[in-house]
């Protein structure tokens, strides 16, 4: 691997790139080497960012839609022109391989492009007031307006595209936005800020404040000028934010424990390939990654055998090598947690069919069978390269077991029987059902979110724009009814 030059980065505060009194290190999880030092913001820094964001929002109330479209379009073009730089940054600071990082950059570009397109479609509707007796002389309409300043808190696993999913819709709908990126992966968020600044975004409408969530996150969440909190992360943190936020909009994507159902009439080759990819891409650190697979008994043995063979072919190694399929987890602490959950399941009767071994921050692709429902790994989000495979009698048992967790983000089902597919669609308690695909499928325009412990509201560009705007009704009383 080539020598990495350590950079001293600055954070973006209301259009200005600034330092802080303190800094923190950004490490490559593959070898724990230092790759950058980033400002560690204080509460004072966050308060200033909020103040400047409110000023910028008020000053941009007449900012025309065509200018929002221009800035977003130019931002997407800027990232496109430097795609390799953005991909390398994602791969260096996070867990993704260089191939996965390139895919994330492409998705982030598309997210920003879609935001530009949706900006022109932020519209309202005419209202027939004369449907109510006594209102024959009323005409009017509704339109949507920006809510103000959005606070965005983003995770490490998609350090560019998940930030784009908050910033793009916020700018498209005319808001100011303050991003607090994950401390493990702040560099990609800062690069997104660079793209917006170079594309002419008015100063103050975007700040990217790096630092400890304990020191600056609570200030962001509780400040009265923040009208919406958009959070992607864990359930425990989401519950705390919900309690702190008070009377403001909240959008939360809090992870999952995603099931996939494979029925006897499915194309097994397709199901195996899709489920292996869904289980182990991004090292399993993916909220819609496949965690539990329920396979009808007649095809269970062959599915399990082929799944294990395919998983064993995955190349685990250097993230920057184009031939690598899977890199390390985000840090050794997380790898040790996943290892402990595997060991706990084994102590309760689970079988390790492949993997189960940890080397530093690496865990090899792991397949478990006979995992008891009481095991932590069966109930909680693994966020690691581990999948649980169970035999079931039929689709009814599969759906029942799929629902038996406190999460409901997405699910998949493989079948050629449309009636069984529709049964799963209706009775799976999730925010999305992927038919003849694994749970690990998403495009950036579709509504995205879950039920139960998987969150509140929906992301996806159009859904986020709607959440980041309010509807205002306008009524005109005429002197006499229209003839």
The residues annotated with a catalytic role in the active site are 253, 287
In order of 28, 30, 185, 311, 465, the CA distances from 335 in angstroms are 14, 12, 17, 19, 36
Helix (H) or strand (E) holding 278: helix 268-280
Phi, psi of 209 (to 5 degrees): -105, 115
Number of H helices, E strands in the chain: 15, 25
Which residues pair with residue 354 across a beta bridge?
367
- Rounded Cα distance between 401 and 154, Å, is 31
Q: Closest by alpha carbon to 282, among 79, 146, 96?
A: 96
DSSP strands (E only) in 258-356: 258-262, 290-296, 351-354
Tell me the pairing of strands 366-369 and 149-153.
unpaired
Q: 367 with 354: CB under 8 angstroms? A: yes
Q: Which two tokens stand for residue 157?
A: 């696993």
**Residue corresponding to tokens 């209202």:** 127
- Rounded Cα distance between 288 and 261, Å, is 14
Q: 367 with 307: CB under 8 angstroms? A: yes
Longest Cα–Cα distance of the chain, Å, equals 81
DSSP per-residue string spanning 337-388: HHHHHHHHHHHTT-EEEE---EETTEE--EEEES--TTSHHHHS---SSEEE
Q: Closest by alpha carbon to 12, among 56, 70, 73, 65?
A: 56
Helix (H, G, I), strand (E, B) or coil at 82: coil
- Rounded Cα distance between 176 and 458, Å, is 20
CB atoms < 10 A from the CB of 88, how many?
A: 18
Phi, psi of 352 (to 5 degrees): -95, 110
């Amino acid at each position: 691997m080539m020598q990495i030059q350590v950079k001293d980065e600055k954070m973006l505060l209301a259009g200005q790139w600034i330092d802080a009194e303190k800094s923190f290190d950004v490490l490559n999880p593959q070898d724990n080497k230092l790759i950058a030092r980033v400002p560690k913001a204080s509460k004072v820094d966050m308060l200033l960012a909020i103040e400047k964001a409110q000023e910028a929002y008020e000053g941009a109330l007449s900012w025309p839609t065509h200018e929002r479209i221009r800035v977003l379009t130019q931002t997407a073009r800027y990232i496109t022109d430097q795609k390799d730089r953005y991909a390398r940054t994602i791969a260096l600071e996070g867990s993704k391989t260089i191939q996965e990082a390139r895919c994330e950059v492409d998705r982030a570009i598309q997210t920003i492009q879609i935001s530009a397109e949706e900006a022109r479609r932020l519209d309202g509707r005419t209202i027939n007031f004369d449907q109510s007796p006594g209102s024959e002389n009323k005409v009017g309409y509704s339109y949507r307006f920006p809510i103000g300043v959005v606070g965005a808190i983003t995770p490490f696993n998609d350090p560019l595209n998940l930030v784009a999913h908050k910033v793009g819709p916020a700018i498209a709908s005319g808001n100011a936005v303050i991003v607090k990126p994950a401390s493990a992966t702040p560099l990609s968020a800062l690069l997104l800020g660079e793209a917006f600044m170079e594309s002419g975004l008015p100063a103050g409408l975007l700040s990217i404040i790096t630092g400890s969530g304990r020191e600056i996150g609570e200030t962001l969440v509780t400040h009265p000028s923040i009208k919406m909190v958009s959070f992607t992360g864990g359930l425990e943190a989401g519950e705390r934010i919900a309690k702190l936020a008070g009377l403001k909009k909240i959008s939360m994507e809090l992870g999952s424990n995603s099931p996939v159902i494979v029925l006897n009439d499915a194309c097994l080759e397709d199901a195996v390939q899709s489920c292996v990819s869904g289980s182990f891409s991004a090292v399993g650190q993916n909220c819609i990654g496949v965690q539990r697979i329920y396979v009808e008994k007649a095809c269970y043995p062959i599915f399990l055998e082929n799944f294990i063979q395919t998983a064993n072919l995955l190349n685990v190694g250097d993230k920057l090598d184009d031939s690598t399929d899977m890199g390390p987890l985000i840090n050794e602490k997380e790898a040790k947690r996943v290892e402990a959950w595997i060991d706990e399941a084994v102590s309760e009767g689970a079988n390790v069919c492949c993997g189960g071994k940890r080397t530093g921050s690496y865990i090899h692709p792991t397949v478990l069978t006979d995992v008891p429902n009481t095991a932590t790994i069966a109930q909680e989000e693994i966020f690691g390269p581990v999948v649980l495979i169970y035999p079931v009698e039929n689709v009814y048992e599969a759906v029942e077991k799929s629902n038996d967790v406190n999460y409901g983000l997405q699910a998949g089902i493989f079948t050629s029987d449309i009636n069984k597919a529709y049964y799963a669609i209706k009775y799976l308690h999730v925010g999305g059902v992927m038919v003849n695909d694994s749970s690990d499928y998403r495009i950036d325009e579709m509504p995205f979110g879950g039920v139960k412990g998987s969150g509140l509201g929906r992301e996806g560009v159009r859904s986020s724009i709607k959440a980041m705007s309010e509807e205002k009704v306008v009524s005109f009383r005429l002197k006499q009814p229209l003839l």
